[in-house]
Amino acid sequence: MSPEELERIRQARERWERERVGSERRTRFETPDGIPLHRVYTPEHTAGLDYLTDLGFPGEYPYTRGVYPTMYRGRLWTMRQYAGYGTAEESNRRFRFLLEQGQTGLSVAFDLPTQMGYDSDHPAAEAEVGRVGVAVDSLADLEVLFDGIPLDRVSVSMTINATAPVLLAMLQAVADRQGVPWDRLDGTTQNDILKEYVARGTYIFPPEPSLRLVADVVEHCVHHLPRWNPISISGYHIREAGATAVQEVAFTFGNAITYVEKLLHRGLSVDQFAPQLSFFFNAHLNLFEEVAKFRAARRLWARIMRERFGAKDPRSWALRFHAQTAGVALQAREPENNVVRVTVQALAAVLGGAQSLHTNAKDEALALPTEQAARLALRTQQVLAFETGVADVVDPLGGSYYVEWLTDRMERGVRDYLDRLDALGGMLAAIEAGWVQREIAEAAYREQQRVETGEQIVVGVNRFASAEAPAIPLLRVDPQVAARQKSRLAEVRARRERREVLDSLRELRKAAAGMENLMPYLYRCVRAYATVGEVCDVLREVFGVHRPTVAV
């Protein structure tokens, strides 16, 4: 488009805007990130965009339009509902139910004791056994959890971080029991410890030994589990803690860059491990901002890997991500409205090109989802996939003046944050200084202020609220779950070979004090039915326990 044509469009737009001043319902429109919005978008707003180098084609660098040439026309996203509670038997029944309903991948939720490296009979675990996920104390639990579920045909994601190496070793042992070679295992361990120091708090060890364990898992998978994603670098929990969309991507990439540098320092080449890296993002409510966020993240990651780290393999440039709808957006009041919220969020993930998706259930602001609510959440994805046509065209919003302008603005915002992180000495230094935590806390405070003042409307909560909240059935975790889990744990301890357990733990302690990759030692421990708590106690002795010193 010529400069003369752009000038004509600019003048026409300004005239059009002047004529309509005062007719809008508020004086300022902006995205949740605070990006001011024009009334209408024209070619002028994308005049600086190079459609060949910035957009390209799906499946080609810089992957703005998707990481695969045909995207959902070739294969739909994996419908991976996050599930797990109580004992392994109860979670196994839920997994089977979801697979029967058409789910195409499993995503395992673990209870807090498992995440924190405590056995179910530890005094600190008493009130949390099986509450927010399934209790796993030993290999015996994982054997029951995946009973009748063929690991060579079902993709498995495990949302586990501090104890990720232990749980992955257990999964490999279960695969052995099923006769499944390790190179046939398909799935993901989250294994993203840095975001725990920022957003969730389920860390165990100090950052340096924790980074060592992350790298051990990645290195092990590079050599032994080629189809496995050894890390899912997570912006989801950062966003749930109150971060903006730009902060979500920026801090996720800050963590990712730290992991890449750690693995390079270990002696791996970037193209050895980068194709197995995956990401996990939040799908929030502002439809177009979320779509632009996903597109900007893909483009920027491709450039980071090629320009900053010199990756040569196109697979190393391609950002593949799982999305989950925003738990923080779910409301306890009028929970049926959550179905609408989740549908819009899921649509944003699909239009943004997610590789897999979890849709939250309507009752999750109140309790773990019932079977009916979990089925409805899955049906939401299936309706989008098979009834709406949104999967029939790759990047259907590509070329929209607004979406392309917003994609550029999001990318620039993320770049600005990454520059600030570099100036602070990298993500780890910024976390230790408390800077990242403060940025998120301030964003969360601003958002809460907007809700409390009514500037941000939450339907059914601060506007349009009904007088009576409808009663809905809720899932109640059996109060006897802890007793049953302790009983199984005692049985495991009674029948295992004690000498083998002690020998394996002694060898682990010696290896942890050195520099070896710990995955082979962890594998031997769990094969001997050493418990999660016993393994983590050994590592606590060697590595110590992280005590945060920064107050936000």
Residue 256 and residue 242: Cα distance in Å, rounded? 20
The reported pLDDT for the residue numbered 552 is 52
The reported pLDDT for the residue numbered 188 is 97
The reported pLDDT for the residue numbered 11 is 81
106 φ, ψ (degrees, to nearest 5):
-100, 145
Residue 267 and residue 447: Cα distance in Å, rounded? 43
With beta carbons less than 8 A apart as the criterion, state whether 130 and 477 touch.
yes
The reported pLDDT for the residue numbered 19 is 66
**DSSP per-residue letters across 474-503:** -----TTHHHHHHHHHHHHHHHS-HHHHHH
**How far is C-alpha 357 from the chain's CA centre?**
10
Each of the 552 residues of the chain gets a pLDDT tens digit; together they read: 677 887 887 787 777 666 665 677 777 889 998 899 988 898 888 887 777 678 889 999 999 999 999 999 999 999 998 889 999 999 999 999 999 999 999 999 999 999 999 999 999 998 999 999 999 999 999 999 999 999 999 999 999 999 999 999 999 999 999 999 999 999 999 999 999 999 999 999 999 999 999 999 999 999 999 999 999 999 999 999 999 999 999 999 999 999 999 999 999 999 999 999 999 999 999 999 999 999 999 999 999 999 999 999 999 999 999 999 999 999 999 999 999 999 999 999 999 999 999 999 999 999 999 999 999 999 999 999 999 999 999 999 999 999 999 999 999 999 999 999 999 999 999 999 999 999 999 999 999 999 999 999 999 999 999 877 667 888 888 889 999 999 999 999 999 999 999 999 999 999 999 999 999 999 999 999 999 999 999 999 999 999 987 555
Q: At what angle do helices 245-265 and 287-303 cross, to 10 degrees?
A: 20
With beta carbons less than 8 A apart as the criterion, state whether 52 and 371 touch.
no
Which positions ≥6 away from 375 have C-beta within 8 Å? 101
Q: Report whether the peptide linkage leading into residue 58 is cis, meaning its omega lies within 30 degrees of zero.
A: no
- Say how many C-beta atoms besides its own lie within 10 A of residue 177's C-beta: 13
Residue 348 and residue 292: Cα distance in Å, rounded? 9
Cα→Cα distances 206→113, 193, 359, 514, 543, Å: 18, 10, 33, 16, 7
> Which residue's entry shows tokens 């009576």?
468
The reported pLDDT for the residue numbered 205 is 98
The reported pLDDT for the residue numbered 3 is 79
Closest CA to 171 of 106, 126, 260: 106
Domains of the chain: 51-76+103-109+152-453 (3.20.20.240)
The model's pLDDT over 147-159, given as tens digits with 9 standing for 90+, comes to 999 999 999 999 9
**pTM (predicted TM-score):** 0.94
The reported pLDDT for the residue numbered 10 is 79
* DSSP state letter for 369: P
